[in-house]
Amino acid sequence: MDLWTEVRRRVLNGEISKRAACREYDICWQTLKKMLEHPEPPGYRLTKPRPSKLEPFLPIIHEILKSDRQVHRKQRHTAKRIFERLRDEHDYEGGETIVKDAVRAWKQTNREVFLPLSHPPGEAQVDFGFADVWLEGELTKVALFVMTLPYSDAIYIQAFPRECTEVFLEGHKRAFQFFGGVPARISYDNSKIAVAQITGNRERKVTHEFQRLQSHYLFEEHFCLVRRPNEKGHVERLLDFARKNYLVPVPRIDSLEALNRELESHCQSDLGRQLRGKPSPKSVLLAEERQRFFRPLPVQTFEAHRIDHGNATSLSLVRFQTNDYSVPTEYAHRKITIVATVNEVRLICNDQLVARHPRYWGRAKPVFDPVHYLALLERKPGGFDHAKPLENWDLPVSFGILRRRLEAELGGHGTREFIKVLRLLERHSLPALKQAVHNGLEIDATSADAIRVILEYQQEEPVALFSLDGRPHLKLVRVAQTDVAVYQTLLGKGATV
């Protein structure tokens, strides 16, 4: 470049002639001509394209790459695999490098380009993601429910054991409470939780539970086109942001409730940030959005549940999502309605709540309530020590003392009498029964009837003193004082006692 600049300066400024420049700098006439025409070296330029061995095979390469768009990402052709197919199936004799260059060039020219979208206030986007956490010392995959507001860039994220209907509903409920209102429109992908059937380009037949959610909160739904998640790219981007900033390193937690409190705290702190291009912090934009474009939260509380149906087996168990939940034995062989929330499972028979259990999110486990089987054990006391529902039932020490005393006094009938005492748990709490058993042992009143009387006495409330306040008509009543001497006449002559 130094020589190029010096030759141009001297020749074009008239310091030396062209012939003198060729002699002095030992360059040919064509080189000097090129120097004078171009301010800088133009580089090597082909006058005509070089012939390539790959040229006849380019349509085959392009067809392979186009068909790869229809298959799973992990089963698409690499450039090396395309080279091998050209060599083995089409007698290609060229090198692998130019095949890689052709594949790279095609991908660059056919890479999808997205249009920046406008996000008016009052709109939200919802999506699910996944992350790993150390839950009670075990590495567990959890589902992340995320709702974002593109206008204010606010985010709300919660972790749940699984992506399912009740989690979908509970996530909405918590997000609306966090944002302090209901967005006018919410965008979704085509998850089966919300979409029962795709009936057109934008038309969807939604599920019953989604209709129930929408009827309660009155928002407008918007579903993305199939395989077009870029229509809700904002929530996808913030989901990655939250996962990298809130869940790295992998959290070590004792419960998902603790993790969710921490995630909500992160979302609250994030409202203090101000993004590039935004006029105000997120919290200010959210307040503006909430005041002008959100619907207020409904007065009635929404219950995020799903309803299923099942039958109680001969073991008094009802199956729900691979797990079995117990009902009282009197409801065996009956049809049961299952109402499941994120935290519990309620079992209903003929509009009557017959059992409730904490929700178990594992698989293939029976969940027992020992009290459900006591009525059956009263008829079959011989199975008391072998009943699976009573395994690991942690009863107070005084209950063991009571059982040994009853069996010592009543022999074979002592176990049945002890089961009768336990059946008081069907109507009373364990702490109350524990106190009654303790009092009964102190006064040597150990029968089931005696324990029941003690228990009922403990729960009686003292009678309050009668007051005339608010009863003015009773203040006019006067009761004469009784003369007890009158009763002495009954003991006179001829009176009998």
DSSP string computed for 236-255: HHHHHHHHHHHS-SPPEES-
Cis peptide before 249 (omega within 30 of 0): yes
- Residues 260 and 22: their CA atoms lie apart, in Å, by 80
Q: For residue 229, what pLDDT is reported?
A: 65
Q: Does the 123-293 domain belong in CATH 3.30.420.10?
A: yes
Q: For residue 100, what pLDDT is reported?
A: 93
- Which of 422, 428, 357, 358 has its CA nearest to residue 387? 422
Let me know how long the chain is: 497
Percent of the chain exceeding pLDDT 90 equals 64
Q: For residue 41, what pLDDT is reported?
A: 82
Q: Confirm if 445 and 451 have CB atoms less than 8 A apart.
A: yes
Region 202-216 average pLDDT: 92
For the chain, what is the mean pLDDT? 89
Q: Confirm if 271 and 283 have CB atoms less than 8 A apart.
A: yes
Q: For residue 480, what pLDDT is reported?
A: 78
Phi, psi of 98 (to 5 degrees): -70, -25
Q: For residue 497, what pLDDT is reported?
A: 46
Please name the residue ranges forming H helices in 39-123. 58-68, 79-89, 96-109
- Residues 388 and 190: their CA atoms lie apart, in Å, by 44
Region 313-339 average pLDDT: 94
Domain ranges of the chain: 2-37, 123-293, 306-367, 374-458
Q: For residue 494, what pLDDT is reported?
A: 55
Phi, psi of 188 (to 5 degrees): -135, 160
**pLDDT(442) > 80:** yes
Q: For residue 199, what pLDDT is reported?
A: 86
373-421 pLDDT, tens digit each: 999 999 999 899 999 999 989 999 999 999 999 999 998 899 999 999 9
**pLDDT(137) > 70:** yes
Q: For residue 466, what pLDDT is reported?
A: 66
- Residues 54 and 128: their CA atoms lie apart, in Å, by 45
**pLDDT(467) > 80:** no
Number of Cβ atoms within 10 Å of the Cβ of 222: 16
**pLDDT(492) > 90:** no
Q: For residue 115, what pLDDT is reported?
A: 61
DSSP string computed for 426-456: GTS-HHHHHHHHHHHHHTT--SHHHHHHHHH
152-161 pLDDT, tens digit each: 999 999 999 9
Could you tell me which residue, 395 or 200, shows the higher pLDDT? Answer: 395
E-assigned strand segments in 122-229: 123-135, 138-149, 154-160, 185-188, 195-198, 204-206, 220-223
237-288 pLDDT, tens digit each: 999 999 999 999 999 999 999 999 999 999 999 999 998 888 899 999 999 9
State the helix-helix crossing angle for 397-410 and 430-442, rounded to 10 degrees: 50
Q: Confirm if 36 and 22 have CB atoms less than 8 A apart.
A: no
pTM of structure: 0.71
- Residues 218 and 324: their CA atoms lie apart, in Å, by 36
**pLDDT(26) > 80:** yes
CA angle (196, 198, 199) in 5-degree steps = 120
- Residues 168 and 160: their CA atoms lie apart, in Å, by 10
Could you tell me which residue, 307 or 72, shows the higher pLDDT? Answer: 307
331-351 pLDDT, tens digit each: 999 999 999 999 999 999 999
Where does the pLDDT of residue 435 fall: very low under 50, low under 70, confident under 90, or very high at 90 and above?
very high
Q: What is the largest CA-CA distance in the chain?
A: 172
